[in-house]
Chain A
């Protein structure tokens, strides 16, 4: 357990920058926007996390990793609460997170309005190739290497790439 005067929310946030998504190691839980709140009170530290997808297998690893980095910084007995509502959306991904994704070769999510709406579900999204920035790309599969990504190919540079789907 920690004593609240020894730790600040800012310090915890800094430490948690090291916790990354095991499937997309360039993104921290802060970049992803799944760390919803850091609470410090008399009984210790509580973190509020929200899953990206219901069955996301990365969540267990993320919880373990979170405990580990805090432990390495002398903070233990952390309470991690999972919150489902409000549901995570790719809009919560930070701008720097989106830049990191692009540099990693994954097209970042478009802002939400495009196809998340059931009504628009026949519309095609214009996805920019993370390699050559062309918009002439085509969908190969709605589901890519993980549930959160779709597989695209660029018609200009011919490279296939993952697109982090809007959600």
Chain B
């Protein structure tokens, strides 16, 4: 129960936090079509987060051990160490190249994860994965095209995406390295061990990077910790903004 809840929150938090980062582009996108695209991706991710939070809240309420939870209380009333999102999601949005490359790494991971998770032994998780897989597939397609456009584009776009690669690569390892609750999920048959997705994930990255004429970094040191609540300072800043209304006016609705 504890592990399954942590696993569900990890999936929810990662989608919510990345959704929030992407939503920062709304009204600021480089061109109107792409402003709309990134906002729509944010919307898909928040929808996924809501479905996972809804299931997490039901687990909490059925256990009767904690205070009753709702999808809102889970998103708005938890603090930094309770969040289990991957570090990749919480990094500042950076420039367009950072946003694109992060989305590409994340969507490549999400599509592989959901392909497996749709066969989860837990019906709720399977249903959400099945629903979200098509969305992730579109996100992957869109971000791949942008990675190619930037990498194989102008000198400026190329240098920007190379910088983005420098910044982001060390946060990708965490996606594919299992936290204790992911190992439990694999043992109990309701979620894949992310280590088993690693090879296919790398192949996907290689395939797109080849077209984008980008180098695939070698075996570099990877920063981890987000999945178990050890975050960068950026998450606190993000939550301060995202949770402000509920913190300042508890229970407010409109």
Contact = CB atoms under 8 A, between A and B. Distances in A.
Interface of A: 51, 53-57, 83-88, 115-116, 118, 121, 140-147, 151, 165, 167
A54 B50 contact: yes
B137 A147 contact: no
A88 B132 CA distance: 11
A55 B51 CA distance: 9
B130 A84 contact: yes
13 contacts: A51-B47, A51-B131, A53-B135, A86-B130, A88-B131, A118-B137, A121-B137, A121-B144, A142-B138, A143-B33, A143-B40, A147-B43, A151-B33
Interface string B26-64: 000000011011001101111110110000000000000
Interface residues on B, range: 20 to 34
A85 B33 contact: no
Nearest to A117: B137
A45 B141 CA distance: 41
A151 B47 CA distance: 22
Q: Which of A56, A87, A115, A167 has the largest number of chain B CB atoms within 10 A?
A: A87
Interface string B133-147: 111011011101100
A84 B51 CA distance: 9
Q: Which of A87, A116, A118, A142 has the largest number of chain B CB atoms within 10 A?
A: A142
A163 B188 CA distance: 42
Q: Which of A53, A56, A140 has the largest number of chain B CB atoms within 10 A?
A: A53
B137 A53 contact: no
B132 to A, nearest CB: 6
B47 A55 contact: yes
